Structure 1
Amino acid sequence: MTQPQANQAQAELWNNQAGHNWVEQNAMLDRLFAPFEPLLADAVQGAKAVLDIGCGAGATTFAVARSLGAQGRCTGADISAPLIELARRKAAETGADNADFLVADAQQHAFPPAAFDAVISRFGVMFFDDPVAAFANLRRAARPDARLAMIAWRSAAENPFMTAAERAAAPLLPDLPPRDPAAPGQFAFADPERVSGILSAAGWRDVDLQPLDVACAMPAPALDIYAARMGPVGLVLPTLDEDRRRAVVEAARRGFEPFVADGAARFTAACWMVRGRG
């Protein structure tokens, strides 16, 4: 019997429905998460070669590349071919000569050794089957004393906006699997001791996690699309008949009502800023 490929479930997810959903809603998501871009750019000032893990369509890659100027370069890597294709189109359209992109599983991709003096990520490192192996691979790609700066979600309990749709729609979706905080996924890095242990075991030094709370907002009308496309609810909706799908979307949309005021949905993204040294 052949062994399953590393991160096979994530590769299938992000190269199919989830990846296409993020491509479709990329403009909205980029606006939503724009406040994180300067935080990562500031964290790697002075670097010359930066690797952006789980870069998606490249928003953080472009922001860091701009901040580094012509003397620096930022390489974005993501397991999702649809998202990397979009990032490459953006780079060509905007003339971003110091940003480039790879379709790559960071857990096992053969990055050039000791090629980067900084490694960053915005919500892109919580999905590895074997996170120690992944961060050891990234450590090999990093130069001695390279900086590590990553933003990851804290717990689901601290991020009620992120689970509002599935909680509201749960009575209509009894088979929706519960989130497993120990499995690869959005909240897999909620436990700071676990994250510190992963990074230390992978060879990173001076690991430090600090709480990071960031105010985010989107126009209230965008919630209809957000509820229907994002997260576990967005993945299950295409499998439902039209009437049930409509009922689920309406329930999910109601779940966001506590966050809406004055025409906008506002929430605090409860995250970690994770730092380390190679």
Structure 2
Amino acid sequence: MRIENQEQAEYWGRSASGAKWLTLEEQLDAALGPVADLVLNRAALTHGERVLDVGCGTGATTLMAARAVGPFGHVLAADIGEQLAARARDRIAAAGLLNAEIRLCDAQIEEFEPHGREAIISRFGMMFFSDPVAAFSNLAEALAPGGRMVFAAWGPLEGNPWFRIPFIAATTRLGRPPKTDRNAPGPLAFHDINRVLGLMEAAGLSEAEATTEEVSLTPVGSTADAAALLTRVGPAVRVIDHFGGGAEDARAIEADVESAITPFEEAGGVTVPATINLYSWRKPA
């Protein structure tokens, strides 16, 4: 297997941080479910279509897409993380779905069947490419004429308490790590709509569109449960790791996160507002 993006392959494929997406799969699937719905609703998959799911993670969107296209359709799900792809493969088998397969690969350079897919979807899988222009160009080649691409990315930090609150709690406790380029491969890399549309244009995806969608993320359980989740993945973890924080630091940060998300409590639990950039493009017929 050829890998261009070695850093992401290592992070998602073998690191302890990437493994948390396995141990927290149920909680993350529930919390991010509204974003998966957003992508699938915009993609409007129909029976018999062939779909490519980019950055499938542990397979939540793959399962949804496979059911949407039915037994005469097909979903090819791609992920660069070995441990995530293995888990997605197990979930497909457990669900008894024969119309989906998982491919461990670097979608930026993978030689997909030319014009082999009517739709490409991705929930938070596009922001990690080391060369987005090359990736978009490669993926566009996999689309059949008239096919469409729909993918979701996080909007700006300011509109996403999911990232902002744990970051503030962790840096207040431990200090601020060195600044990094927010456009570098990572969760917030596609926060700037104009920049991403420019990258798509440079890749030949002319007349791509983007909308800003406000959704409510739905972590399961209590406010304390949601705070624990937000402290175990995302920016809080990166800050704790950078400063070598210990269990006491993690507990203090989690307590601060719980206090900060209290305003998001509702009768049924917690809903965290989020700003999502939804990008779409249709290949000329």
TM-score by length of 2: 0.88
- Aligned residue in 2 for 1:41: 40
Q: Is the 8 A contact 2:79 2:107 kept in 1?
A: yes
Q: Which amino acid aligns with 1:14?
A: W
Distance 1:176 1:226, change over 3 A: farther
Q: Which amino acid aligns with 1:61?
A: T
- Aligned residue in 1 for 2:228: 225
Per mean C-alpha deviation after superposition, the further-off stretch among 197-206 and 26-35 is: 197-206
Q: Distance in 2 between matches of 1:249 and 1:38?
A: 29
CA deviations 1:80-105 (Å, max 9, x no partner) are: 11111111111111101112111111
CA deviations 1:35-71 (Å, max 9, x no partner) are: 2333333324236111011111111111111011111
Aligned counterpart for 1:9 among listed residues 4, 7, 10: 7
Q: Would you say 1:126 and 2:131 are equivalent positions?
A: no
Q: Distance in 2 between matches of 1:232 and 1:178?
A: 13
- Aligned residue in 2 for 1:76: 77
SS in 2 for 1:204: coil
Aligned CA-pair RMSD? 2.0
Q: Would you say 1:215 and 2:213 are equivalent positions?
A: no
Q: Distance in 2 between matches of 1:179 and 1:264?
A: 34
Q: Would you say 1:30 and 2:29 are equivalent positions?
A: yes
SS in 1 for 2:98: coil
Q: Would you say 1:253 and 2:251 are equivalent positions?
A: no
Q: Would you say 1:116 and 2:117 are equivalent positions?
A: yes
- Aligned residue in 1 for 2:108: 107
Per mean C-alpha deviation after superposition, the further-off stretch among 126-135 and 152-161 is: 152-161
> How far off is 1:134 after superposition?
0.8
Q: Is the 8 A contact 2:170 2:239 kept in 1?
A: no
SS in 1 for 2:271: strand
Q: How does 1:149-160 map to 2 (within 5 A)?
A: 149-160=150-161
- Aligned residue in 2 for 1:198: 199
Q: Distance in 1 between matches of 2:178 and 2:96?
A: 43
Q: Distance in 1 between matches of 2:36 and 2:91?
A: 17
Q: Which amino acid aligns with 1:248?
A: I
Q: Distance in 2 between matches of 1:257 and 1:206?
A: 42
SS in 2 for 1:10: helix
CA deviations 1:174-195 (Å, max 9, x no partner) are: 2534453221111211211111
Q: Is the 8 A contact 1:228 1:237 kept in 2?
A: no
> How far off is 1:129 after superposition?
1.3
Q: Distance in 2 between matches of 1:19 and 1:171?
A: 25
Q: Would you say 1:56 and 2:61 are equivalent positions?
A: no
> How far off is 1:136 after superposition?
0.8
> How far off is 1:165 after superposition?
0.8
Q: Distance in 1 between matches of 2:248 and 2:27?
A: 27
SS in 1 for 2:71: coil
Distance 1:169 1:255, change over 3 A: farther
